Amino acid sequence: MGNLISICDIKDDVQDILDLAIKIKAGEVEKSPLEGKTLAMIFQKSSTRTRVSFDVGMYQLGGRAIFLSSNDLQMGRGEPIYDTAKVLSRFVDGIMIRAVEHCDVVELAQHSDVPVISGLTNVEHPCQALADVLTIKEHFGTFENKKICFVGDGNNVCNSLLLISPLLGMDMSIACPKGYEPNEHVLRIANEYAKEMNTKITVSDDLNVALDNVDVVYTDVWVSMGDEAEELQRKAALSPYQVDSDLMNLANEGAIFMHCLPAVRDQEVTTAVIDGPNSVVFDQAENRLHAQKAILYYFLKDE
């Protein structure tokens, strides 16, 4: 049994899961491989893509999913995570949790007797990163000699992309203002992966440096859930990093634009870019379903 809390948990399995997602999307996997399986879905934060993709994914794989909000669980009223993990493990075959604190998901996984999958924490978003690289592979056909640039706040999505990109042989740069760099611990591990794979990671507040020879331009909201108290200072610091047509022109010809959604149009990205010919955001959103199905198959299917 394994868990997916971080991309680090699947360091040696990323390519296998990605290949599986491609096969699932092409209809090349047996019907109903998770028949009789049940997934508990715990949501401490609201969601569109994560909730629907996991719910539909379990259904299409022959299993079922149970939605549990904080109001549905005694954990929301103070029951220890240890007790919740032990009880749910007696009922279900896997747990997906979208949590506020990364440490809560780590603790849940430590005490669970079934696989735990992170649907997002304040540190990482591994499921999103898998959907993202699936989209990149579909568009370019390869990861070789490709470079991705994350523009804006070095958040949880950025952290997972930092870890997965070098594992697949891609260079990555981050364009962010000082004080908005990615997690130091994650960056240190990502640099170790990059050294192993002979790839390069760059963090810079200079857009020209970060966007040099870039094939994928990626951004996310400036004010994530839980950061609302910092909204004004975040907008002021990040406004020079809005992805507009001029910024896209700094990247390679034919570069694609990505966003994990939801987007605040004309804030972190202009409407002209997100709806433009280089945008693959809705392909990317669709691939959440196929990536999620691969994750569910990989972690829940009996050998």
Catalytic, out of 93, 220, 284, 292: 220
d(CA 37, CA 61): 9
Catalytic, out of 93, 102, 127, 128: 128
Task: Report how far apart the first and last C-alpha atoms of the chain are (Å, whole number).
Answer: 11
Catalytic, out of 260, 284, 290, 292: 260
SS3 content of the chain, % helix, strand, coil (to 5): 45, 15, 40
Catalytic, out of 49, 102, 125, 234: 125
Active site residue 12: no
In this structure, what DSSP letter does residue 73 have?
A: S
- Name residues whose C-beta falls within 8 Å of residue 282's C-beta, 6 or more positions apart in sequence: none
Catalytic, out of 49, 98, 102, 234: 98
Active site residue 288: yes
- Whether the CB-CB separation of 299 and 115 falls below 8 Å is answered with yes
Active site residue 260: yes
Residue 213: name the closest of 223, 202, 221 by CA: 202
Catalytic, out of 234, 259, 288, 290: 288
Active site residue 49: no
Q: How far is CA 45 from CA 92, 99, 120, in A?
A: 21, 6, 9
CA 219 from centroid of its chain's CA atoms: 12
Beta-bridge partner residues of 243: 269
Active site residue 98: yes
Q: Which residues are catalytic?
A: 98, 125, 128, 220, 260, 288
